[in-house]
Amino acid sequence: MPDQKSIRRKAAEGRQPERDGETAGVAARERAPGHAEAHTRERALSGVGMTPSGDGDLDVYELLDKSAHAALSHLTLGIAPSALAAAYTDWMTHLATSPGKQAELLHKSWRKAMRLGAFAQCQLAEGAKDPCIEPLPQDHRFRDVSWQTWPFNFMYQQFLLQQQWWHNATTGIRGVSPKHEQIVTFVARQILDTFSPSNSPFTNPEVQQATMAEGGANLLRGARNLAEDVVRFATKTPAPELAEFRPGEKLATAPGKVVFRNRLIELIQYAPQTEEVHARPILIVPAWIMKYYILDLSPHNSMVRHLTEQGFTVFMISWLNPDEADRDLSMEDYRKLGVMAAIDAACAISGSPDINAIGYCLGGTMLSIAAAAMARDGDDRLASLTFLAAQTDFREAGELTLFISESQVSFLEDMMWEQGFLATEQMGGAFRLLRSVDLIWSRNVHDYLMGKRMPMFDLLAWNADGTRLPYRMHSEYLRKLFLSNDLAEGRYIVEGRPISVSDIRVPILAVGTEEDHVAPWRSVYKFHHVADTQVTFILTNGGHNAGIVSEPGHKGRRYRMAVTPAEALYTDADNWVEKAPLFEGSWWTALVDWLDGKSGEMVSPPPLGRDGTPYEAICDAPGTFVLKP
């Protein structure tokens, strides 16, 4: 816990909206430049907040709540107990008053018991029988042939039937809110997966076979792996194999220069790889929820290298990895110091009056905010927009919304208020829960029961190089976008006035991935009705990261692509999938073809930075911000 002086300072900075005229005046003075620090010192020295009456009492009580929630968050991994309690109360109350649903569940339980009994009887008598339930397509835990022998086939069949019954028990109850139903179903699935027979050496035939073959050496290696991971987690020490994947050495090696730096970004301009380049440059805006070099991994799968080799001038933003000192960075700071500053630099260095912009994930959302504000204000420096797994409408943002509610956001705000940011491990835990079977339980079996280590590779090393999110920015992001959906509904404010994505008139290319748990492709598809312009949509196989990093020559890659003119009638996502033609190979080739017609004539490459301007070359890529742990 922080000391009292620190607590009072954070309480002053993190106060809620004003409750009366007097408090509003104090809050306004606190927000005034140069006044916040002096006022905070005055409050700390005078003991405001410790008096028995007046506005100060509110600070003490609010401080108690914030401190309690922050302390509790360390035990709950950032999950608000109140959010879970509300969901389970809603579910249990309606289930208790639904005798029909209870009877249905009892009947299903009896039928499943009979099916399992028949399966066991046939197995014991005949030695072979088709399973009475098949795992879901994405569930790979029971695919090994050893699971088809007695008694292991009985164990996993029982588990899958139980999992199916609980899904029936948590869904389809009249009166339960959809959000609460999703939460209860999700949590029930997490609990059940904990007790999967694949997780125990006593019920997993693959582990037993390995143990017999190796004389238990696999379990000894697994125990050592577990001990190493516990120490690394406690000391926040990275795995030693990550050392060879340091950015600038094996990853993020595309040649270039940092040509601009402010307190929030370094702007990288990449060296040309052709004698002539397109006159109109490309600016890539990656998400600050990740390090930028997801788009410049190894030389063979670097999107940056691929684009420069096709004759494009490429700029890329590298975001600061914030710490407690950056707690008050806002969404507006990310727009102005990030996207707008980078556009200014790219135009000044290239000499082009406009650019093509690409935004990935949260970077795409911020790019859409900037583009809508520019359209409103008559700024025509964007010639085209490409959005990679990016959302502007958050009403159907997938399972990630399970962690987004007023209760959960308030809890997260109190957790971030204490430390000034959302930590990497706190954010990563939520993403791992979305795919807990693959990212938690199957990995535990692999590392600790089979005693193996997954070989380190570029995408895995990048994934381990996490970032933090500033307190204020992340709070605004969750409230304005996820909770209120202000951007899609025309209420998002930029410089005192609302913006609308529908004001964007330049051509849009939007890319969704089939297995995306972060930005589901149907949510990305909504560009068709939030933007009033031509939309080219690509749906590629893979997930949020692997589907985007899809270089030519990558085996098994395919995509669908279709163009919807601005004047065309709306087609829903499911009908679009049925009609859009399927192409084999990497969607990067389609991106290059699309950009070719929007990038101007071929000219001599611009210099790497411009001497005598604010955009002189500072250092070699990948710069310094990306190296900050």
pLDDT at 316: 98
pLDDT the model gives residue 128: 67
pLDDT of residue 476: 95
- What pLDDT is attached to residue 50? 38
How far apart are alpha carbons 440 and 189 in whole angstroms? 13
What CATH number corresponds to the domain at position 405?
3.40.50.1820
Residues 6+ apart with CB under 8 A from 469: 288, 289, 322, 416, 421, 422, 427, 477
Expressed as residue numbers, the domain containing 127 is: 83-214
pLDDT of residue 207: 97
Tell me if 37 is assigned to some domain.
yes
Q: Fill in the amino acid letter for 237.
A: T
pLDDT at residue 346, rounded to an integer: 98
Same structural domain, 304 and 207: no
Q: In 3-state terms, what secondary structure has residue 55? A: helix
d(Cα 130, Cα 148) in Å, to the nearest integer? 10
Instruction: Say what angle helices 152-170 and 178-194 make with each other, to 10 degrees.
Output: 160
Residues 16 and 98 grouped into a single domain: no
Give catalytic status of residue 347 as yes or no: no
Type and span of the H or E element at 478: none
329 within some domain: yes
Query: For residue 545, what pLDDT is reported?
Result: 94
Count CA atoms closer than 13 A to 191's CA, side-chain side. Answer: 9
The answer to the question of residue 242 being in a domain is no
pLDDT of residue 77: 66
492: nearest Cα among 394, 571, 574: 394
In a domain, 463, yes or no: no
Does one domain contain both 57 and 188?
no
pLDDT value, residue 69: 79
Say how many domains are in the chain: 3
Number of neighbouring beta carbons within 10 Å of residue 444:
17
Running DSSP on this structure, what letter comes out for residue 241?
G
C-alpha span between 32 and 565 (Å, rounded): 47
The Cα–Cα gap between 621 and 619 comes to: 7
> Residue 105 domain-assigned?
yes
What is the residue type of 106? L
Same domain, 206 and 348: no
| pLDDT score for 429 | 66
Instruction: Write down the pLDDT at residue 355.
Output: 98
Active-site residue, selected from the candidate residues 122, 347, 361, 619: 361
**CB under 8 Å to 626, separation ≥6 — which residues?**
247, 248, 252, 266, 291, 292, 293, 318
Specify if 436 maps to a domain: no
Low-confidence ranges of the chain (pLDDT < 50): 1-56
Q: How many residues does this entry show for the chain?
A: 629
CB-facing half-sphere around the CA of 501: CA atoms within 13 A:
24
The pLDDT value recorded for residue 422 is 85
577 shares its domain with 594: yes
d(CA 115, CA 119): 6
How buried is 436 (Cβ within 10 angstroms: 0-12 exposed, 13-18 middle, 19+ buried)? middle
Q: Distance (Å, rounded) from C-alpha 366 to C-alpha 289?
A: 12
As a whole number of angstroms, the distance between CA 347 and CA 269 comes to: 12
Q: Is residue 275 in some structural domain?
A: yes
- The reported pLDDT for the residue numbered 59 is 76
Count CB atoms within 10 A of the CB of residue 422: 25
Last residue within a domain, chosen from 150, 180, 214:
214
| Co-location of 26 and 162 in the same domain | no
Q: Which two tokens stand for residue 528?
A: 């068709």
CA atoms within 13 A of residue 214's CA, in its CB half-sphere? 17
